[in-house]
Amino acid sequence: MIEAIARLRETDPQRLGPFRLFGVLGHGGAGTVYLGRGAPRRGARKRVAAVRAVRPELLRDRQLRARLRQETARVAEAVDSPFVADFLGCELDSEQPWTAEAFVPGVPLSALVAVYGPLPEMSVRALGGALARALMALHAAGTAHGDLRAANVLLTGEGPCVVDYGIALGRHSAAVGGAGFGPSARRAEDVFALGAVLVLAASARHPFAGSPLPSAREGPDLTGVPDALCMPLLSCLHKTPETRPQPESLAHTLDLSGAATRPAREWLPEPYLHEIGERADAARALVGRRGWGR
């Protein structure tokens, strides 16, 4: 059963910053994420948003707050991709800090795979092409996602979209696969994470014994992954960061036909599309159709 959008509880805030809140999208290590609507800055049009109430204890470090502002501002200014959710704003110094991204009316890949099983090869290729293009946009802006996983990939009828990019609040900062901490290492970590996401999408299994983290002793388990996808995904999961492919070449290898640029309703299975439609309808009902369309 895929978790529905919950109504606000008495203990939930009614507003965060400029956003009026309508429902609860989910809970994570960094804080609760709400469905909201508001103008992210004076003079801007109102947007439907995913607004995270960040746990204040995660932001006690002034340098971390400064880095988060820098990362998200860079994305807001430099990234224009249909595969990356728009960053709308943040307030990190208030009693209740928050960050906001454009609401993506989709369902997490992790939830869909858990209920309906793996995607067919052609869908995995389109998904991989979209996610590689998302990384291209982020990396070209001088940043990295930093926490790419199936829960942060939302599938909509239009296409996949990555959320929760920038700094992985509440997550251990050690780089996946021993990639280190510099910019090139963070980009290599993103590629590793992309490989793990696509293995899950193709097989409904994590490549490292039920964990998205690499094993120091064993190679990745690609049981159930179509043969034609094994080589490109193994290259993403290589333990040596420098040998992993660049997102540009990966997008070409996985999605030679450019399916990622077409609406996902053309290449996602029907059960996936049904759930996506249900989620979008639930969000519209909470916000109201007038608010949704403005």
Active-site residue set: 147
Under 8 Å between Cβ of 145 and 190:
yes
Sign (positive or negative) of CA dihedral 245, 123, 261, 131: negative
**How far apart, in whole angstroms, are the C-alpha atoms of residue 176 and residue 103?**
28
Torsion angle of the four alpha carbons 30, 35, 37, 39, in this order, in degrees rounded to the nearest 10: 20
Please return the burial class of 118, using the count of CB atoms within 10 Å of its CB with bins 0-12, 13-18 and 19+.
Answer: buried
Exposure string over 89-112, b if 16+ CB within 10 A, otherwise e = bbebeeeebbbbbbbbbbbbbbbb
Cβ-based neighbour number of residue 221 at 10 Å? 16
Q: Residue 11 and residue 83: Cα distance in Å, rounded?
A: 34
- The SS3 call for residue 11 is coil
Per-residue CA distances from 78 to 75, 88, 138 (Å)? 5, 13, 8
